[in-house]
Structure 1
Amino acid sequence: MTDEELKQYFLYPNGTLRNKLNLQDAAKLRMVEYRTVAHNAVWLLHHGYVIKSIDDYAKIHQFLFGEIYSWAGQFRDYYLSKGKTDFMPPTAFDTAITNITHQLKMIKNTVKPTSKQYAQLLDSLNYLHPFREGNGRTTRLFIQLLAANHHQSIDYNRQDREVIVALNQSDLVKIQKFIKITDIDSQQVAFQQNAKKQLLNMEKLNRDKEIH
């Protein structure tokens, strides 16, 4: 599709993302999206999910955003850039997916994966950026679930601006610093711990929104 065709496909005339709810007020859409995705993320963490392959990445995106966007879970076939950052061209997806599959295999075969391994995966998924929106939230949840599969709980030290800069520069040393791992006795408890942290983040963000 041309740039104009993509614009018409994804956006209403006022620039709001087209959505299943036909919400054309960008602020209302952001609020509904935030609450829906956060609720779905907590549900998935609470009930558990076994990560087997990159296919689960698309399934998680569809689960998080499927109530809102018709394209949820579908890898893009067009070029994507945000600000000064160009993400992976779709013509290179096959090679990238092979690389990510190898990383997932290495993590699967590791009893206690390291923050370096998770940082490398986070960097690879960020550059892939296969969806129009929601890549960051999907990636963080995907890695949380993967860690829980290994009886680990992950905290993301949220310094969003610094994280974005580190990701844009593929600075693995800095990315690693934003990932804190806690070993947990059981997989079930690991899922519960991650769900609890997600709920606490939701409550904090809700309070911040109320204050502002």
Structure 2
Amino acid sequence: MAIDPYLDPATGLLRNRLGITDPAAEAFFTRLLIAQLEQRPASGQFDLTDLQAIHRHITQDLVDWAGELRTVDIAKGNTFCPVQNLRSYAAEVFGKLVRASHLRGLPREDFVASLTAFYGDLNALHPFREFNGRAQRAFTTQLAH
């Protein structure tokens, strides 16, 4: 089995700067940072750089790799985008979003369908070692407004 540099070998838990071992405490901490994004939104380009900025904001006090693309392959039931394909698949996913004019001006039904498809693609990309769901939700919340 490959060594995962993101995990503490002694505990098997994700390394974090604050030594948090309680998932509820970590979730509470990140919720506070997500709430701050309303006052400090991403650039509005709605690209990989914006997603990385959101991830960085949410995790900057927790992990050394905040906003950085993962360096290992990961799976949760299904395998996510292989690490060697992250940038090319991200270009494809965000390229579709650009070609769809960031979903602006769509009728509600089309917007919901398009946002759902984009969210699925973003989840398959899973560009970070952890905290993808929180970053994706914050990103798509900003996209929807």
Shorter-chain TM-score: what band? 0.7 to 0.9
When residues 107 and 37 of structure 1 are mapped into structure 2, their CA distance, relative to the original with a 3 A threshold, is farther
Q: 1:50–1:145: 8 Å Cα contact kept in structure 2? A: no
Q: 1:81 aligns with which of 65, 71, 75?
A: 75
Moved more, 36-45 or 56-65: 36-45
Distance in 2 between residues matched to 1:14 and 1:3, nearest whole Å: 16
Larger Rg: 1
Q: 1:57–1:138: 8 Å Cα contact kept in structure 2? A: yes
When residues 127 and 109 of structure 1 are mapped into structure 2, their CA distance, relative to the original with a 3 A threshold, is closer
Moved more, 68-77 or 96-105: 96-105
Structure 2 residue ranges without an equivalent (≥5): none
Q: Which residue in 2 is equivalent to 1:40?
A: 33
Q: 1:100–1:124: 8 Å Cα contact kept in structure 2? A: yes
Q: Which residue in 2 is equivalent to 1:126?
A: 123
Greater helix content: 1
Q: Counterpart amino acid of 2:27?
A: Y
Q: Counterpart amino acid of 1:115?
A: V
Shift of 1:16: 2.0
When residues 102 and 35 of structure 1 are mapped into structure 2, their CA distance, relative to the original with a 3 A threshold, is same
Q: TM-score, normalised by structure 1?
A: 0.60
Q: Counterpart amino acid of 2:18?
A: L
Shift of 1:109: 6.4
CA offsets 1:142-169 (integer angstroms, 9 cap, x no match): 0000111xxxxxxxxxxxxxxxxxxxxx
Q: Which runs of 4+ in 1 moved over 6 A?
A: none
Q: Which residue in 2 is equivalent to 1:174?
A: none
Q: 2:12 aligns with which of 3, 12, 15?
A: 15
Shift of 1:10: 1.9
When residues 9 and 126 of structure 1 are mapped into structure 2, their CA distance, relative to the original with a 3 A threshold, is closer
Q: Which residue in 2 is equivalent to 1:66?
A: 60
Q: Counterpart amino acid of 1:21?
A: L
With CA pairs under 8 Å and 6+ residues apart, which has the higher RCO, 1 or 2? 2
Q: 2:7–2:15: 8 Å Cα contact kept in structure 1? A: yes
Distance in 1 between residues matched to 2:2 and 2:104, nearest whole Å: 43
Q: 1:102 aligns with which of 95, 98, 101?
A: 95
**Aligned pair count?**
140
Q: 1:40–1:64: 8 Å Cα contact kept in structure 2? A: yes
Q: TM-score, normalised by structure 2?
A: 0.85
